[in-house]
């Protein structure tokens, strides 16, 4: 009980840290995921190959390894001195983008054939077809898998805590090092994560209902 | 809708444009790689000595031990998660309310908490001196919950007539479950189950954080204990160990895809789920009930969870 009351400021910081890394890497993952999904269905073979390689590689890499790469190799190549938060969000965003790409691609596959054929027959180009016809219609079917991907992203963000990003797992290790009982720490951290994940699934349920009306 | 529906067969003009775009795209990617390599070279990470360390017998032995340690944790976690998964799936479908509630609560709770939090709590709370068991138990709990949802989806996908016929023959509840439902569910869900095992294998890397000497932890130890040219060989060790990890995961997911293809050829039974569907550790309650979209298997009645 005491562990939360005694260290509420740290807990609040951790909670805010988890939420912000989740939001930042969600944005990165969504942008990259949709772009790479576009690559994977594009008429240009090297881009298709690049998309496939991207997905295969990132999906079969342990996230912890990706964090190691981000923390140790990326600063050597790009600008040194990026904060752990930025590097962590990049690792998490890149990792999740592979899953979002696959979700979007299977969403594209559920749009009826006639839609794209009609778009082509009125002379739309590939990017127009994708942007104006196919992707908006794919959104509806992409939403449920997207929600579980984002919940997974929230949970994966815990790993960032082990790489000196301020978030909830960092609070857990800090408190247990200070000798508080792990059971209560676990309860509070779990509750905080439940709040975040329930919020995400709530938002998506809302979105799904909206989309259903639009049908 | 296959990808080619999205664009017309390219004419001469489009072909020329595509070729230009292809060259530009390839050049951009190559340039990015070249810049990375140059920057690494500049910092001395590509020096011969940096990579020569993997010729040392000691370091090779370390890596071999680490692979063994990873596989050991993975083996225990795989067996543990499958056993727990079967128990929880059966529990969640039980006719006894307390059992059902317990299984549901357990699954929902541990599936929505980050695996790392669970592993860390097990490690600090119970098994401080046995990081391998802490890792394996944490993985078993989390992945057991996911496997339970996968199996439950599989059991629900078995046609109702099967169960009714079995009851009509006078089989007991246990017999129906073990002889009729479970075998069909496992067969249908095998690709998904193996995909989740790939996730389990990937997640053994969390042992890094609780100091279990698996591959990544060993990589860190090697890199921080060997000094070459006044630098620590982080880049070379991460590249080598990362390659090993990715290779192991690719082999296992290759197996899942192969089984899926093989199962699809067979005409009997319900068609197997897609291996790709589940690779992410996610929230299954979202995905269960929505068929994973598209692909040749989308006509099946079952559904898969993450």
DSSP state of A78: S
Q: Where are the alpha helices (DSSP H) in chain A?
A: 2-6, 8-40, 45-59, 63-68, 74-77, 84-110, 113-121, 126-128, 135-156, 158-161, 168-177, 182-214
Question: Helix crossing, A8-40 with A84-110: angle to 10°?
Answer: 40
Answer yes or no: do A169 and B22 touch at CB < 8 A. Answer: no
A128 near B CB under 8 A: no
A49 near B CB under 8 A: no
CA distance B168 to chain A (A): 38
B185 class by beta-carbon count within 10 Å (0-12 exposed, 13-18 middle, 19+ buried): buried
**Range 12-51 of B in CB contact (< 8 A) with A:** 14, 18, 21-22, 25-26, 29, 35-36, 39-40, 43, 45
Contact residues on chain A for B250, CB-CB shorter than 8 A: 56, 60
Nearest alpha-carbon partner for B184 in B209, B158, B216, B218? B158
Give Cβ neighbours of residue B245 (< 8 Å, ≥ 6 apart). A61, A62, A65, B202, B205, B215, B216
Question: Dihedral of the CA atoms A115, A28, B39, A46 (nearest 10)?
Answer: -10
- In angstroms, the CA B155 to CA B188 distance is 9
Block residue for tokens 């104006």: A132
∠ CA B185-B157-A137, nearest 5°, is 125
Q: Which chain B residue's Cα is nearest to A163?
A: B209
Answer yes or no: do A190 and B117 touch at CB < 8 A. Answer: yes
Specify whether the CB–CB gap between B233 and B59 falls below 8 A.
no
pLDDT > 90? residue B48: no
A148 near B CB under 8 A: yes
- In angstroms, the CA B289 to CA B303 distance is 6
Contact residues on chain A for B139, CB-CB shorter than 8 A: none
Cα within 13 Å of Cα(A79), Cβ side: 6
Specify whether the CB–CB gap between B297 and B274 falls below 8 A.
yes
Give Cβ neighbours of residue A198 (< 8 Å, ≥ 6 apart). none
pLDDT > 80? residue B209: yes
Rounded to a whole number of angstroms, the CA Rg of chain A reads 20
Cβ contacts below 8 Å, chain A against chain B, sum to 206
Q: Does domain A2-214 sit in CATH 1.10.3720.10?
A: yes
A50 near B CB under 8 A: yes
Contact residues on chain B for A173, CB-CB shorter than 8 A: 120
pTM here is 0.82
Interface test with A, best of B7, B31, B127 (most A CBs within 10 A): B7
Note the pLDDT tens digit of each residue in A68-92: 888 888 887 777 777 888 899 999 9
DSSP chain B: --GGGGSPPP-HHHHHHHHHHHHHHHHHHHHHHHHHHHHHHHTTTTSHHHHHGGGSHHHHHHHHHHHHHHHHHHHHHHHHHHHHHHHHHHHHT-SSHHHHHHHHHHHHHHHSS-HHHHHHHHHHHT-TT-HHHHHHHHHHHHHHHHHHHHHHHHHHHS-HHHHHHHHHTT--HHHIIIIIIHHHHHHHHHHHHHHHHHHHHHHGGGGGTTT--SHHHHHHHHHHH--BTTB--HHHHHHHHHHHHHHHHHHHHHHHHHHHHHHHH--SSSPPPPGGGG-S---HHHHTTSPPPSSTTTTSS-----
Among the partner-chain residues A65, A109, A129, the one whose CB lies closest to the CB of B245 is A65
pLDDT of residue B263: 73
- Across the range B33-38, mean pLDDT stands at 87
Answer yes or no: do B293 and A59 touch at CB < 8 A. Answer: no
- In angstroms, the CA B85 to CA B79 distance is 10
Note the pLDDT tens digit of each residue in B138-168: 999 999 999 999 999 889 888 889 999 999 9
B67 near A CB under 8 A: no
Answer yes or no: do B283 and A182 touch at CB < 8 A. Answer: no
Among the partner-chain residues A130, A156, A183, the one whose CB lies closest to the CB of B6 is A130
Rounded to a whole number of angstroms, the CA Rg of chain B reads 24
**Range 187-206 of B in CB contact (< 8 A) with A:** 198, 202-206
Confidence of residue A23 (pLDDT cuts 50, 70, 90): very high
**Range 210-229 of B in CB contact (< 8 A) with A:** 216, 219-220
pLDDT of residue B1: 46
**Token pair in block for residue B160:** 């109702």
Contact residues on chain A for B8, CB-CB shorter than 8 A: 120
Among the partner-chain residues A45, A69, A197, the one whose CB lies closest to the CB of B22 is A45
CA–CA distances in Å: residue A150 to residues A197, B68, B306: 9, 33, 12
CA–CA distances in Å: residue B285 to residues A48, A90, A131, B74, B117: 32, 28, 30, 25, 21
Answer yes or no: do B22 and A44 touch at CB < 8 A. Answer: yes
- In angstroms, the CA A18 to CA B140 distance is 25
pLDDT of residue A37: 92
- In angstroms, the CA A175 to CA A13 distance is 14
**Range 172-201 of A in CB contact (< 8 A) with B:** 172-173, 176, 182-183, 185-186, 189-190, 193-194, 197, 201
CA distance A64 to chain B (A): 6
Please state the ipTM of this predicted complex. 0.82
CA–CA distances in Å: residue A159 to residues A170, A195, B208: 9, 18, 10
pLDDT of residue A93: 93
pLDDT > 60? residue B196: yes
Note the pLDDT tens digit of each residue in B255-297: 888 887 887 766 556 666 665 544 333 333 333 333 333 333 3
- Across the range B97-120, mean pLDDT stands at 90
**Range 223-262 of B in CB contact (< 8 A) with A:** 234-235, 238, 241-242, 245-246, 249-250, 253
**Range 71-100 of A in CB contact (< 8 A) with B:** 72-73, 76-78, 99
Q: How many residues does chain B have?
A: 306
What is the residue-averaged pLDDT of chain B? 80
Answer yes or no: do B283 and A176 touch at CB < 8 A. Answer: no
Among the partner-chain residues A64, A148, A185, the one whose CB lies closest to the CB of B306 is A148
pLDDT > 80? residue B213: yes
């Amino acid at each position: 009980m005491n562990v939360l009351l005694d260290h509420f400021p740290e807990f609040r910081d951790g909670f805010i840290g988890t939420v912000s890394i989740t939001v930042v890497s969600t944005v990165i993952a969504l942008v990259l995921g949709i772009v790479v999904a576009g690559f994977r269905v594009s008429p240009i073979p090297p881009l298709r190959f690049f998309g496939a390689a991207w997905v295969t590689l990132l999906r079969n890499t342990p996230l912890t390894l990706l964090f190691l790469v981000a923390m140790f190799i990326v600063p050597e190549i790009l600008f040194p001195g990026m904060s752990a938060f930025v590097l962590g969000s990049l690792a998490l965003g890149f990792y999740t983008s592979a899953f979002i790409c696959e979700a979007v691609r299977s969403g594209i596959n559920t749009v009826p054939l006639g839609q794209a054929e009609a778009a082509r027959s009125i002379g739309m180009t590939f990017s127009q077809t994708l942007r104006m016809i196919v992707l908006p219609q794919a959104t509806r079917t992409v939403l449920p898998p997207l929600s579980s991907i984002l919940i997974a992203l929230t949970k994966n963000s815990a790993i960032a805590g082990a790489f000196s990003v301020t978030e909830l797992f960092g609070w857990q290790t800090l408190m247990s090092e200070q000798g508080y009982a792990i059971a209560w720490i676990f309860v509070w951290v779990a509750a905080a994560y439940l709040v975040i994940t329930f919020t995400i699934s709530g938002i998506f349920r809302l979105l799904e209902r909206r989309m259903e009306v639009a049908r | 809708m296959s990808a080619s529906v999205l664009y017309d067969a390219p004419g001469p003009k489009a072909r020329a444009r595509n070729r230009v775009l292809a060259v530009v795209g390839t050049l951009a990617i190559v340039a990015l790689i070249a810049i990375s390599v140059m920057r690494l070279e500049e910092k001395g990470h590509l020096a011969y000595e940096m990579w020569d360390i993997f010729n040392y017998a000691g370091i090779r032995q370390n890596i071999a031990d680490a692979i063994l340690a990873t596989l050991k944790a993975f083996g225990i976690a795989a067996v543990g998660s499958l056993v727990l998964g079967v128990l929880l799936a059966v529990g969640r479908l039980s006719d006894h309310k307390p059992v059902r509630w317990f299984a549901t609560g357990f699954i929902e709770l541990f599936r929505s908490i980050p695996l790392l939090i669970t592993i860390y709590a097990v490690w600090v709370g119970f098994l401080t001196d046995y990081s391998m068991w802490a890792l394996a138990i944490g993985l078993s709990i989390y992945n057991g919950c996911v496997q339970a949802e996968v199996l439950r989806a599989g059991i629900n996908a078995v046609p109702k007539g099967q169960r009714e016929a079995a009851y009509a023959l006078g089989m007991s509840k246990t017999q129906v479950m073990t002889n009729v439902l479970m075998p069909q569910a496992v067969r249908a869900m095998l690709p998904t189950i193996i995909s989740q095992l790939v996730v389990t294998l990937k997640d053994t890397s969390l042992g890094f954080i609780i100091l279990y000497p698996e591959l990544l932890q060993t990589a860190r130890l090697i890199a921080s204990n060997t000094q070459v040219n006044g630098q620590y060989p982080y880049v070379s060790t991460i590249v080598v160990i990362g390659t090993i990890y990715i290779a192991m995961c690719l082999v296992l997911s290759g197996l899942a895809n192969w089984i899926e293809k093989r199962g699809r050829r067979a005409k009997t039974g319900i068609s197997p789920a897609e291996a790709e569907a589940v690779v992410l550790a996610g929230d299954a309650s979202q995905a269960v009930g929505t068929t994973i979209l598209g692909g040749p298997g989308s006509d099946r009645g079952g559904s898969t969870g993450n």
